[in-house]
Chain A
Amino acid sequence: MKEIVTLHINGDEVEVGVPTHFTLLETLRYALGLTGSKQGCDKGDCGACTVLLDGEPHLACIMPVYEAIGHQVTTVEGLAEGRVPHPLQDAFDLCGAAQCGFCTPGILCSAYGLLAENADPSRDEIRRALSGNLCRCTGYTKIFEAVEIAAESLRSGVDPRDIVAERYELAFPSSSMQPAEHTARSSTGAAHA
């Protein structure tokens, strides 16, 4: 049995027919083709499915789709502005915080929720905010660094690339720090910082 529900996702109002037992995650992935949100455990343990509901992180794999009606849903696909990645997304690449990348969308949503509430979180506050997101590759350190760099970028308006270059005293803070799909000059206006 299917029913049509109206959802607000990444700024769009969408109508979608879904089986009545579908979760928000199943609706996003299998009815709307928004496959950025991941299914890891399907029982609310791993956090890979985390999305934002009115700006707050929620587990989409244990949320019946009906509960999302009337709320603004933001997924990893909705974090970037046009072609420009959100500083969190950029910092995750720059710091090597996305290795296999499967936990990344959920972690980005949890971190986004944190930074909306707390512009300058301590390492411990980041740790607590991400405690519901499991990562098996990184050991978390690079993830915490990336969130710190994104927070600094959001506060100061400085491009995450330049923060990384300064923090790690790069010998060649140059071209290869450029987003692969984005050839515009960095915020410093120079290819060679």
Chain B
Amino acid sequence: MIVYRRILVPVDGTERAAAALGAALGLAKLGGGAIVGVHVAGESPLLATGDIGGPFYDAWRAEADRVGREALDYVVRRATEAGVPCETVLAPPCPPWEGIIAVARERGCDVIVIASHGRRGVAARLLGSETQRVLVHCDIPVLVVR
């Protein structure tokens, strides 16, 4: 019998992520599991580093962390409403798919719930590029939600 007990759900503060969160909470309730919310900021868009880039990086990082914390607060609110145990991870900046897979491994998750379409890209019918990368690189099942 398969019951998913630790369900990873990446969030980025968008509505699509909210749909994935809804599905993750549903799956958690179904099997009496918990969810792990994760926000991965992505890589810094800055090329300059050191003395020149430092302040810009700090500002970018502060904003990225603020967006991440807001997205994760939303996860906690929704999980509390649904009565589902929940933990959250604000991952350090890295390519999102790498961060998602690394956190899934660290936290011993047995499934990832992710939206099918990402923020980027114009074609509404294409699978999101991060979703695509998570799909081919991870070892655990992925529930893709539209």
Asked whether A and B interact, the reply is no
